[in-house]
Structure 1
Amino acid sequence: MPVAQLTLEIRIEHSRSLKDRRQVVRSLKDQLRQGFNASVAEMDEDITWQSATIGIAAISRSRDYLHGMIEEIERAARRILNEHGAELMDSFWEYLES
């Protein structure tokens, strides 16, 4: 069964504290969880005020369905981040087959 993993590298330019950063990251994670049937987690080892890494995973019987879903999640993340004054610096995805 295919599993899709999407990693988002985020830049939060206006963030001046961990609280500012946390508000953007929490909002992004909550909205993606609500809008899509996917797991969302923060993946940072080193927490900095102005950047974050988010990991998203989804599973389905159809690789084509996962591909479309990952594209939709990426577009939604870009929109959500723009609303919060942040930007998506990089994203990459991969498929795992079991």
Structure 2
Amino acid sequence: MIIGLLEIELYFPSSHSLKEKRKILHRIKDKIQKKYNVALAELDYLDKWQRSRLGFVTLNNNKNLIVSIFNKIITEIDFLAEGEITFHQVNFW
């Protein structure tokens, strides 16, 4: 069994409050979790209103399938987010 972790940092230049950021993140979390069946949490920058670091975890026997899911998530977030992805990293165990 392979565990995959995708970390994504986002920057929201148009966000002016934590409430705005949380609204954007809530929409992203709902769509990604329903579509890709991954565990998801905000990992860092909880008190920053223009930045966020999200973590996505999934497991499978096929590493290529995990990579494919993570690539789709990156593309989806790039489309959904009212900001930009500034960093992403994938780790496997």
Aligned to 2:90: 93
Structure 1 counterpart SS, 2:26: helix
Aligned residue-pair number: 93
What are structure 2's unaligned runs of at least 5 residues?
Answer: none
Aligned to 2:80: 80
Structure 2 counterpart SS, 1:73: helix
What are structure 1's unaligned runs of at least 5 residues?
Answer: none
User: Aligned runs of 1:45-56 on 2, under 5 Å?
Assistant: 46-56=46-56
Which structure 1 residue ranges, 4+ long, deviate > 3 Å from structure 2? Answer: none
Distance 1:87-1:45 versus aligned 2 partners, 3 A rule: closer
User: Aligned runs of 1:1-98 on 2, under 5 Å?
Assistant: 1-44=1-44, 46-81=46-81, 85-96=82-93
* Residue identity opposite 1:38 in structure 2: V
2: distance between equivalents of 1:7 and 1:28?
A: 14
Between the aligned residues of both structures, percent identity stands at 20
